[in-house]
């Protein structure tokens, strides 16, 4: 029973974090129908920002959270202006974005190797607290609780944006039907650019906690994180950013249960769950159909 409690609580913490890992990818796809294959590389950049803040400046890694947001604006805004409008004018933006962002991801990975080397980088466990916080007698590192808390705050902020701001209403309108939103006078490019930058910012924030939840950060981790993000997004609901929370929790619980009871299968089962869910509910657990064209 204690093992089960440990797996469930740990799975929830893990799942909340992985909800944040995937939600930026789903936001960009939901608004622009763009497949950001560089998503994992942007997460990795957040991890390196945390490493620089801690190792070189001696600051708490949490300072990397606002810096990641600033970095997303600095990188994301010109990237959007240079790339996204041209993609959306093409006949097949999904496939072209698939190719283009794959190339962008490889460039980012090469640049991180040049800047930081190919070695794994880790952060001292005490940087976010040296203790363990217990629930129902189960102890988890402080860094896990920080990751879950910041992830929840970021997801809650996105929900508040969707539910209580005019730009959020406009974003939801574009996600529902881009052409109709354009016909009603919504500035589609302005709203899309904000969503694009927000998606990269959410990826960067998640990256801050990668050295703690995954043990280290390295340039080649990006492709794995992109694959994991796609799995989480599809489990929840493709094109529905807040549905990613459901996918993250399923992924986290499945992973922790298998790590606890059958550790040798822990890397396989979450993707087996993905295949089962797709076969039963092709549009994801939330069951909402997605317009792909």
Domain definitions of the chain by residue range:
2-116+142-280
pLDDT of residue 166: 94
Q: Stretch 167-181: mean pLDDT, rounded?
A: 92
Rounded to two decimals, the pTM is 0.91
Task: Say which range, 75-84, 113-122, 141-150, 251-260, has the weakest mean pLDDT.
Answer: 251-260
pLDDT of residue 131: 64
Q: Do residues 7 and 260 make contact, with C-beta atoms less than 8 angstroms apart?
A: yes
CATH number, domain 2-116+142-280: 1.10.3470
pLDDT of residue 149: 95
pLDDT tens sequence across 214-224: 989 999 999 99
The per-residue b/e assignment along 206-226, b for 16 or more CB within 10 angstroms, e otherwise, is bbbbbbbbbeebbbebbbebb
Q: Stretch 255-262: mean pLDDT, rounded?
A: 83
Angle at 149 between CA 147 and CA 155, to 5 degrees: 100
Q: Stretch 238-256: mean pLDDT, rounded?
A: 87
pLDDT of residue 261: 82
By percentage, how much of the chain surpasses pLDDT 90?
57
* Residue 62 Ramachandran class (φ > 0 left, ψ -120 to 50 alpha, else beta): alpha
Q: Which residue has the tokens 């080649």?
A: 220
pLDDT tens sequence across 3-61: 888 889 889 999 999 999 999 999 999 999 888 999 999 999 999 999 999 998 989 99
């Amino acid at each position: 029973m204690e093992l089960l409690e440990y797996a469930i609580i740990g799975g929830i913490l893990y799942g909340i974090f992985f909800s944040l890992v995937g939600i930026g990818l789903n936001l960009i796809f939901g608004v622009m129908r763009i497949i950001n294959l560089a998503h994992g590389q942007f997460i990795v950049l957040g991890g390196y920002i945390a490493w620089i803040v801690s190792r070189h400046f001696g600051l708490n890694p949490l300072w990397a959270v606002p810096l990641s947001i600033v970095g997303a604006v600095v990188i994301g805004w010109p990237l959007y202006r240079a790339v996204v409008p041209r993609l959306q004018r093409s006949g097949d933006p999904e496939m072209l974005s698939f190719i283009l962002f794959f190339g962008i991801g490889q460039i980012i990975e090469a640049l991180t190797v040049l800047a930081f080397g190919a070695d794994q980088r880790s952060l001292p466990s005490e940087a976010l607290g040296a203790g363990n916080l217990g629930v129902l007698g189960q102890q988890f590192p402080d860094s896990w609780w920080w990751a879950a808390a910041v992830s929840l705050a970021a997801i809650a902020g996105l929900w508040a944006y969707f539910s209580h701001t005019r730009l959020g209403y406009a974003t939801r309108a574009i996600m529902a039907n881009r052409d109709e939103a354009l016909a009603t006078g919504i500035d589609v490019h302005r709203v899309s650019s904000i969503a694009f930058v927000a998606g990269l910012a959410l990826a960067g924030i998640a990256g801050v906690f990668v050295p703690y939840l995954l043990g280290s950060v390295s340039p080649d981790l990006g492709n794995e994180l992109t694959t994991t993000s796609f799995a989480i997004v599809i489990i929840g609901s493709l094109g529905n950013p807040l549905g990613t929370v459901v996918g993250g929790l399923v992924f986290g619980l499945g992973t922790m249960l298998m790590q606890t009871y059958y550790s040798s299968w822990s890397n396989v089962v979450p993707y087996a769950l993905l295949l089962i869910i797709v076969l039963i509910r092709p549009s994801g657990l939330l069951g909402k159909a997605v317009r792909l064209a």
